[in-house]
A = this chain, B = another copy of it.
Amino acid sequence: MDIVLIGSGNVATQLGLILIKSGHRILQVYSRTMVNAEELAYKLSSNAIDSISELDISAEVYIVSVKDDVLKDLLLELPQLNGIICHTAGSVDMDVLDRFEHFGVFYPFQTFTKEKLVDFKQVPVLLEADNDKVYETLLKLAESISDKVSKASSQQRGKLHVAAVFACNFVNHMYRLSEDLLEDSGLSFELLHPLIKETADKVMSISPSLTQTGPASRDDQMIIQKHKYLLKEQEPYSSIYKNLTESILALNKSK
């Protein structure tokens, strides 16, 4: 298909790369910042633009991947389009697009950074569309890059996004805090790699409700007090340790 990418961030980059790898054409890459548009357009053998007035109106699909808080303003600038316009945002309802003729949502459910290539076949893509015809087109596009395509309403996508904040963003923050704690003691974060890998591997086959370990899960107050003392007055470690330990203890008690 002939596609225009609006945005040049992590999601646009990874989507663009897998789309051309799967045989699609990226007609244009738009970014407010020309150097960003050019950087991605170069990777995709595409054309960079930084003005909406230059938008190619012959594309079949326009994929808008910009920060959620600029999405609405950007959409106001866009002309009426013959192709399908879709956004890639987890927490934005589809109806922000309803002044367009054909619209939908194309939500790749993964965490992306520009530098690290992703095995897109394993990335769930969640679709929502204004009507069946749009859905069929988005389905065809999604299935050309992923083996895990499914339908999700705006409401489900919202819940999924919150769940992802816990399972990915907050998890990464835990990694970050543990790295900082180790650095304070002159120890390398690499020491934690095997443990991090094992913890993630485990929940691929066993529910995380059955794999909780550690002092809170066995209500080991001696160790909990020792840890609280170690972290005393060190924020944010201290309050997070307290908050999450209480949450694990409460879940145990409710069992």
Hey, which bits of chain A sit against chain B, CB under 8 A? Answer: 10, 67-69, 91, 109-113, 115-116, 118, 122-124, 126, 148, 150, 152, 155-156, 158-182, 184-200, 202-209, 211-218, 220-223, 226-227, 230-231, 236-237, 239-241, 243-244, 246-248, 250-251
**A187–B160 touching, CB < 8 Å:** yes
Q: With A124-B194, A174-B170, A248-B169 in contact, is A220–B67 under 8 Å at CB? A: yes
Shortest beta-carbon contacts, A-B, top 5: A169-B214, A200-B200, A175-B208, A167-B178, A163-B178
Number of copies: 2
Q: 15 A-B Cβ contacts within 8 A?
A: A67-B220, A69-B220, A69-B221, A111-B198, A111-B211, A115-B206, A116-B205, A148-B194, A163-B179, A163-B182, A167-B178, A168-B195, A172-B208, A175-B208, A200-B200
Distance between A18 CB and nearest chain B CB, rounded to angstroms: 14
Q: With A168-B214, A169-B214, A200-B197 in contact, is A163–B176 under 8 Å at CB? A: no
| A159 contacts across to B, CB distance below 8 A | 181-182, 184-185, 187, 230
| A206 contacts across to B, CB distance below 8 A | 113, 115-116
